[in-house]
Amino acid sequence: MLRILNRVLLGAVGLTLLVVGGSVLVAGLGGPVPSWWFHDAQGDVLLAESARDRCREDTWWWPAVFGALGVLFGLMVWSVIAQIRRNRLTEVLVDSGDGQGALLRARALAGVLAGAAEELDGVDQADVLLVGRRNAPEARVHLVLSAGAEPKETLRGLTDEALAQARDSAGLERLPAQVELGVVRRRAQRVS
């Protein structure tokens, strides 16, 4: 859902900037623009001299404008870096024995690993994320334990059964994992 919202928001901002920038360019080159448009003449400026003079009287105005633009620029740079840097692995290279190899979807392997982890005693929910390189994946596992679970036994079962099975089935030499354990939160019950 967040990914769709991100794409829609980026598309809307990009389209708005394209329309405004294109119309200012058309007006600057002497092309036709609607009569209600804010920038309608070739020699017209975006901010009139009277508006600039009025804003000079308020000493806070220009620092606030440049501060807001700086924050906006920082958010845009952060968004671009977040788009470029993907930490989620999309595929895992499996040794097929013929020297070519095969590609396995990382979500499929993570789903099987999560299912195997949920079958362990005391595990209510398991979430698995594969990160790293496709020939050397790493698992980030988040387990939600039930109230009577023993964390040591659950961790041993995860290591000896679920992770070992995933490592062997994908033909990996090793599958390091970072495991985070949590507990089911229950509401307090009233005692009368």
Please report the pLDDT score of residue 142 as a whole number: 92
Residue 94: name the closest of 159, 162, 169, 163 by CA. 169
- For the stretch 113-167, pLDDT in tens is 999 889 888 888 899 988 888 788 888 999 998 887 888 888 898 888 888 888 8
- For the stretch 77-87, pLDDT in tens is 887 787 776 67
Report the alpha-carbon distance of residue 147 to residue 184 in Å, rounded: 7
Report the alpha-carbon distance of residue 181 to residue 30 in Å, rounded: 66
Please report the pLDDT score of residue 67 as a whole number: 94
The pLDDT confidence band at residue 23, using thresholds 50, 70 and 90, is confident
Please report the pLDDT score of residue 77 as a whole number: 86
> Who contacts 88 (Cβ-Cβ below 8 Å, separation ≥6)?
106, 129, 130, 131
The pLDDT confidence band at residue 188, using thresholds 50, 70 and 90, is low
- For the stretch 39-86, pLDDT in tens is 666 666 766 777 777 777 778 887 888 899 899 889 888 877 877 766
175 φ/ψ angles, rounded to the nearest 5 degrees? -140, 85
Please report the pLDDT score of residue 86 as a whole number: 64
The pLDDT confidence band at residue 187, using thresholds 50, 70 and 90, is low
Q: Is the confidence at residue 19, as pLDDT, over 70?
A: yes
